[in-house]
Amino acid sequence: MKFTPLFSTLLATSFVLGTSAETFAIRGTNDNHRKLVSFDTILSLFTPVLEVVVRGALGASLDPLSLSLSVSQEIDSVVFSESCTAAATVTYKVGDLTGLGNFVIDNMAVVEGSADIDVSLFRGTTWDATFNVEGGLPEGLEAIVDAEITADACGVPYQQSVSGLLDALDARVNFSVGTSGSIPGFFGSPSVSSTTFADVDVTLGSIETSIDFGNGVEVDLASSGLEGAIIDAIIDAIVGPFADILNGALGGGFSL
Ligand SMILES: *[C@@H]1O[C@H](CO)[C@@H](O)[C@H](O)[C@H]1NC(C)=O
């Protein structure tokens, strides 16, 4: 929970209410409390705060993210020489992944109809909303890889292992965050009492590697299906830890 104080402080110092174009009527038991409150203002202040906190948590816990993935693919036609094209088995072992800490939020919006403010003489003012967060890792992800190729290359047994780097480009991460909190008095700074992160969705656009088996051996990552298999394996490995960090480090309540 080491980020809770940071989150709390940032929220406490930057969360204020105001009025702007998009306003929400307040439900309440007392008509004197019926006023207009802007979730646009909450959103514009919450977005950079959430980004800082998510970056901090991911950076501290998942950058690097220890992976030991092994992705194998039978490839029908690998070019071994001008006169020999043969089937081969190519295995990529993907090690520690760096770059998850560079998460940036590109867009964040209140889910339509989810924002609510409730004023009660007994409970005070409480608010809740669900935000859709769209973000990415513009600096990409990088991992060390070991690659191995084995084949019967036109009657000649062939085996080669090389190490290199793998770059995963165009990483996109979306998730939603359900938030509820309270506002002391009417115009005080809101606090967040709970956040629930859900629907973490990751996509990777493409993979580039420095792997070169040498000897004129050409393996086309994209057309062989190996690129897609590596992308799927990396996404599978990222989504769980990413969601765990959001929920574990940031998901509890914040006393401001
Ligand atoms: C993120 O959300 C945007 C907008 O809804 C969508 O176009 C994109 O495909 C989503 N990406 C992921 C990784 O879910």
Ligand 1 center to 200 CA (angstroms): 11
pLDDT band of residue 69 (cuts 50, 70, 90) is very high
Ligand 1 center to 55 CA (angstroms): 19
Mean pLDDT of the chain: 82
Q: Identify whether the C-beta of residue 173 lies closer than 8 Å to the C-beta of residue 199.
A: no
Of 86-90, 153-157, 220-224, 228-232, minimum mean pLDDT range: 220-224
Pocket test for ligand 1, best of 174, 177, 201, 232 (most atoms within 8 A of CB): 174
How many other C-beta atoms can be found within 10 angstroms of the C-beta atom of residue 82?
A: 7
Q: What is the pLDDT of residue 216?
A: 85
Question: Which two structure tokens, joined as six digits, stand for 100?
Answer: 């998850």
Q: Which residue segment(s) compose the domain that 117 sits in?
A: 5-255
Q: Identify whether the C-beta of residue 236 lies closer than 8 Å to the C-beta of residue 200.
A: no
How far is the C-alpha of 205 from the C-alpha of 228, rounded, in Å?
10
Q: What is the pLDDT of residue 151?
A: 96
- Count of structural domains within the chain: 1
Q: What is the DSSP string of 20-78?
A: -SSEEEPEESSGGG--EEEHHHHHHHHHHHHHHHHHHHHHHHHSSB---EEEEEEEEEE
pLDDT band of residue 3 (cuts 50, 70, 90) is very low
pLDDT tens by residue, 233-249: 999 999 999 999 998 87
Q: In the predicted model, is pLDDT for residue 36 greater than 60?
A: no
H helices present in the chain, as ranges: 4-14, 39-62, 221-224, 226-250
Write phi, then psi, for 41 (nearest 5 degrees). Answer: -65, -45
- Pocket-forming residues, ligand 1, beta carbon under 6 Å: 134, 172, 174, 201-203
Three-class SS state of 243:
helix
pLDDT tens by residue, 182-238: 776 656 666 777 888 999 999 999 999 999 998 888 888 988 899 999 999 999 999
CA-proximal residue: ligand 1, atom 7 (nearest): 134
Atom of ligand 1 nearest to the CA of 172: 13
